[in-house]
A and B are shown apart, each in its own frame.
Chain A
Amino acid sequence: MFDGYTSSELMSIFAMQGFAGLSLFSVFVLMALGLAIIFGQMGVINMAHGEFMILGAYTTYLTSGFFQSYLPGLFSGYFFIAMVLAFFICAALGALVEWLMIRHLYHRPLDTLLATWGLSLIMQQAYRSIFGAREVGVDLPEWMMGAIPVTEMVDLPINGLFVMVIALSVAVGVYLLMYRSGYGKKVRAVVQNRPMAEAVGINSAGIDRATFALGCGIAGIAGAAFTMIGSTGPSSGQAYIVDTFLVVVFGGAQSLIGTIVSAFGISQAQSTMEFFLSGSMAKVLTLLVVIGILMIRPEGLMALKVRR
């Protein structure tokens, strides 16, 4: 596969594809963080996570439309407002879903998977009815267009860079929330030993709802960021969901660092191989390698050490 390239060419190819992989990495990190804290906390796989992300994307789309028509002067800053809106709308819907559906199913994780799949079908069709089947895109504010040349072969698009900054700041934010706040302490207590956490007075049901809402809110931010680098359609979320699940499972369910490392590994592997093979084969190979590693090491890259 490397035949016919000189080593310097190979280096620039790797660099170029590596940078291209970084925007995929950002989307993976944003999607997977939300999924991972829900999965790590409650053992629940949220199949509708992609649809929550798309909800955030449509929120951004509507906000950008609103700013274009009514507040054109503030258009350059609309994205930040859209991101906050997306977070809160998705979190609110997430809390509602948790209250209506998920909390009845905690003892049956496989059933949650099916129920949230049902939810994802409904949400997808709702988007299709409201926004139409065609993909929509947002206009980028001017400062986000263009690229920074790094070397003569490698250009860094500003929007991709911006999305990466968002991804990393969200990751840092989640880390601070989980490891440096009272809420995070409670969450970790519930993860490690639920009955004991309840016994010392932690409201584990409340923690569950807050965590689910937080995960969905982060999905909303992911959606907002996603509009910066791609267009949004009713089923765009589904395109990413399998990869994201694998990112989470591969990283180790309860490890945020593991999630980020595995998102990085998977996105880079895919992006690098895409240059040498066809896109579909690159994806097949990446997924197969991940599945293979998971078969050898089912607990993922960085697992919390718990006795079972």
Chain B
Amino acid sequence: MKHSSLMKWFVSREGLYYLALAFLLVVLLPLTLDSFRLNMVGKYLTYAFVAIGLVMCWGKAGILSLGQGVFFGLGGYCMAMFLKLEASTPEATAIQSTPGIPDFMDWNQLTELPWFWEPFHSFSFTLLAVVGVPVLLAFVIGVAMFTRRVGGVYFAIITQAIAAVLTILIIGQQGYTGGVNGITDLQTLMGWDIRTDEARNILYFICVGMLFLCLFAARLVQNRKLGRILVAMNAQEMRVRFSGYDVAAFKIFVFCLAAAFAGIGGALFTLLVGFMSPSFIGIVASIEMVIFCALGGRLSILGAVYGALLVNAAKSGFSESFPELWPFAMGALFIGVVLAFPDGLAGLYKSYVMPLEDKVFKRNKSKAVPVGTSQTAEKADDYSPMANTYSPEKS
């Protein structure tokens, strides 16, 4: 994008939606919430990464993965392994029978660091692994499934089984993974104490920054031909295949993209929360991630962010005051979103708020600019054919 068109984009309607979200996350919430609450918002935002991935994967391309927690967890565990190794210096763990290895390994009678922990001494490797490991797994699953044309419910069930397998594996291999407690007691990142309020605030802003990077990446994909092929694939897979596109390759790509987003989210989760455990990976956690995306509107990447924020805020709110009511609310949310509002908040916004907006926009426009100038042309540009039919984005 050239400079002038970038400016234009920021004052276009879509740009304003992004600005509004940025204002909310960068200005409004940090000013109004205390450090503890802000940290919680940061935690919710890490789920938004997964939700954005699901919008691309499920909303656009129609591939429902019930195993996104796997990728979230892998990203999170990669980061946690690095932090744990940093916390387990020989000096800090001198009381153990084998100093220099993480405490839970010592409790499980391991006497040396397992080979797959070794590379996590390096921070650059860890950063690579946070994205690389989930993408690699997604690639393997994707190649195996999509080239054999497994899709729909089968794919959902198999990803769910994979989530179950990984959880059982992590809990079972306590000596290598920290078991059901997960990897806890993480202290510093490259010598920087991540447990102070100040560090947590900085991490929050890093999280918001990364979120916008992912949003822009997703937007880039959805507004290109690539994004349109994904949507077309969802609607008429056969026709896309007969038009000469390699459907499996596109599916693998979008599944890997979703996995990469989830991995980044998981790593930030570990940093913000200070531990990682199998409870964020399993079947229940993974399927909850789908509702973040569904509530926001399965076709709207911005909606996914709001969905993740709202569901998690409601969850904490309910769990604090009426813990026994939360499952009812969650269940009703699942049923309601599917039966009554399949397009989620973004759909509601589009049908109720946008008409009002249209009026305001039109009034301003008729006052300011005569009809048929550059601005109408730009508006036409804004409404790509896809946006007309599938209402992505506009929330």
Contacts and interface: CB of A to CB of B under 8 A. Distances in A.
Contact of A298 (B62, B145, B335, B342): B145
A39 B153 CA distance: 10
Contacts of A39: 153
A121 B334 contact: yes
B148 A295 contact: yes
From DSSP, what is the main secondary structure of chain A's interface residues? helix
A196 interface: no
Given A114-B338, A291-B162, A121 B331 contact: yes
A193 B291 CA distance: 33
Given A122-B332, A288-B165, A249 B172 contact: no
Interface in A89-131: 101, 104-105, 108-115, 117-122, 124-125, 128-129
Interface stretch (B112-120, B126-134, B322-330): B322-330
Interface in A184-225: none
A122 B331 contact: yes
B36 interface: no
B26 interface: no
A173 to B, nearest CB: 26
A281 B154 CA distance: 24
B331 A120 contact: yes
Contact of A118 (B66, B152, B161, B330): B330
A104 B169 contact: no
B339 A291 contact: no
Interface in B309-346: 324, 327-328, 330-335, 337-339, 342
Interface residues of B, number: 43
A43 interface: yes
B330 A113 contact: no
A288 B165 CA distance: 7
Contacts of A124: 327
B37 interface: no
A294 to B, nearest CB: 6
Contact of A291 (B165, B171, B324, B335): B165
Contacts of A82: none
B150 interface: yes
Contacts of B338: 105, 108, 111-112, 114-115, 118
B271 interface: no
Contacts of B287: 114, 117
A171 B333 CA distance: 36
B101 to A, nearest CB: 22
Interface extent on A, as a size class? 35 or more
Contacts, number: 118
Interface in B275-329: 283-284, 287, 290-291, 294, 324, 327-328
B339 A43 contact: no
A86 to B, nearest CB: 23
Contacts of B283: 238, 242
Given A110-B64, A125-B327, A295-B148, A118 B332 contact: yes
A125 B342 contact: no
Nearest to B58: A110
Contacts of A112: 338
A121 B327 CA distance: 6
Given A242-B161, A242-B164, A246-B157, A122 B327 contact: yes
Which of A105, A110, A128 is the most central at the interface, judged by chain B CB atoms within 10 Å of its CB? Answer: A110
Contacts of A108: 338, 342
A5 to B, nearest CB: 23
Contacts of A121: 327-328, 330-331, 334
Nearest to A128: B324
B144 interface: yes
Nearest to B333: A118
B150 A298 contact: yes
Contacts of A129: 324
Interface string A241-255: 010011001000000
Given A113-B153, A298-B145, A125 B324 contact: yes
A6 interface: no
A287 interface: yes
A284 B156 contact: no
Which of A108, A115, A278 is the most central at the interface, judged by chain B CB atoms within 10 Å of its CB? Answer: A115
A117 B158 contact: no
Contacts of A287: 161, 164-165, 168
Nearest to A288: B165
B152 A109 contact: yes
Nearest to B342: A111
B172 A113 contact: no
A114 B165 contact: no
B160 interface: yes
Interface in A233-283: 238, 242, 245-246, 249, 278, 280-281, 283
Contact of B157 (A43, A101, A119, A245): A245
B334 A294 contact: no
Given A109-B153, A280-B169, 8 more contacts: A45-B153, A108-B342, A110-B58, A128-B327, A242-B161, A280-B168, A291-B158, A291-B161
16 contacts: A101-B339, A108-B338, A110-B58, A110-B62, A110-B153, A111-B338, A114-B291, A114-B294, A118-B332, A121-B327, A121-B330, A125-B331, A238-B284, A249-B154, A280-B172, A290-B161
Give 7 closest A-B pairs by Cβ, nearest first: A118-B334, A280-B172, A122-B331, A121-B331, A125-B327, A295-B144, A118-B335
